[in-house]
């Protein structure tokens, strides 16, 4: 899937210890500007800068803003919100590792998004990200999302620095 000349290792999501926390919600707030209903991460559980590798998850709750309308009686986490979670995971990595130089990274692109499994309230969406290009001018991460052992989605997200303040 990735265009970049990087081999993405397969990760068995069931082998990941999700009980250990590298970052809880408070630490995610310190790194990412998202608030309220737009927070798409619950915790970060692994961070390996030597491999540009990061793992986090989103606990999908029954009271989320989209549940009532997408789709009534059979709520499904919208694919665009899965991609947003992937972007937030990548953004956390860039900020936490000092890659962004204090600049806010914005979503510059989503490529090759594929949705393989439904994600519903009560599920834990585990996000596994590998940096393809990690630079202050551009970050590209290949992110896979799993529910249990099943691949729910994958995409490549691109982050670009935003001009802020007018």
Which range, of 78-87, 125-134, 156-165, averages the lowest pLDDT? 156-165
Task: Decide if pLDDT at 95 tops 60.
Answer: yes
Q: Which range marks the domain in which residue 29 is found?
A: 13-161
**How many angstroms separate the CA atoms of 102 and 6, rounded?**
26
Cβ atoms of residues 84 and 124 within 8 Å: no
**How many angstroms separate the CA atoms of 80 and 162, rounded?**
20
User: How many folded domains does the chain comprise?
Assistant: 1
**How many angstroms separate the CA atoms of 47 and 34, rounded?**
20
Task: Decide if pLDDT at 54 tops 60.
Answer: yes
Residue 3: inside a domain: no
Residue 2: inside a domain: no
For range 101-124, the mean pLDDT: 95
With bands split at pLDDT 50, 70 and 90, how would you rate the model's confidence at 134? very high
Residue 93: inside a domain: yes
Q: Which residue has the higher pLDDT, 163 or 129?
A: 129
Residue 87, domain CATH: 3.10.129.10
Residue 4: inside a domain: no
- Helices then strands, counting H and E runs in the chain, come out as 2, 6
Taking the whole predicted model, whether its pTM rises above 0.85 is answered as: yes
Residue 76: inside a domain: yes
Residue 154: inside a domain: yes
pLDDT (tens digit, 9 = 90+) per residue, 68-89? 999 999 999 999 999 999 999 9
Residue 166: inside a domain: no
Residues with catalytic function: 70
Task: Decide if pLDDT at 5 tops 70.
Answer: no
Task: Decide if pLDDT at 14 tops 70.
Answer: yes
Structure tokens at 76: 């499904």
With bands split at pLDDT 50, 70 and 90, how would you rate the model's confidence at 28? very high
What percent of the chain clears pLDDT 90, i.e. is strictly above it? 87
Cβ atoms of residues 83 and 74 within 8 Å: no
Alpha-carbon 38 to chain mean position: 12
**How many angstroms separate the CA atoms of 23 and 5, rounded?**
30
Task: Decide if pLDDT at 7 tops 80.
Answer: no
Q: What is the pLDDT of residue 21?
A: 96
Q: Across the chain, what does the average pLDDT equal? A: 94
Which range, of 4-13, 24-33, 51-60, 128-137, averages the lowest pLDDT? 4-13
For range 59-74, the mean pLDDT: 96
Residue 7: inside a domain: no
């Amino acid at each position: 899937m990735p265009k970049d000349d990087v081999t993405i290792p397969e990760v068995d999501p069931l082998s990941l210890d999700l009980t250990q926390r590298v970052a809880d919600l408070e630490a995610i707030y310190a790194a990412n500007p998202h608030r309220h209903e737009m927070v798409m991460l619950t915790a970060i559980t692994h961070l390996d800068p030597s491999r540009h590798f990061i793992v986090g998850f989103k606990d999908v709750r029954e009271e989320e803003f989209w549940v009532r309308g997408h789709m009534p009686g059979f709520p499904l986490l919208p694919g665009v919100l899965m991609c947003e979670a992937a972007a937030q995971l990548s953004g956390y990595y860039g900020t936490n590792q000092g890659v962004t130089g204090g600049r806010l990274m914005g979503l510059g692109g989503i490529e090759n998004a594929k949705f393989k499994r439904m994600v519903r309230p009560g599920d834990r969406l585990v996000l596994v990200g590998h940096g393809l290009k990690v630079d202050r001018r551009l970050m590209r991460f290949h992110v896979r999302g799993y529910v249990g052992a099943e691949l729910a989605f994958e995409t490549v997200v691109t982050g670009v620095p935003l001009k802020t303040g007018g």
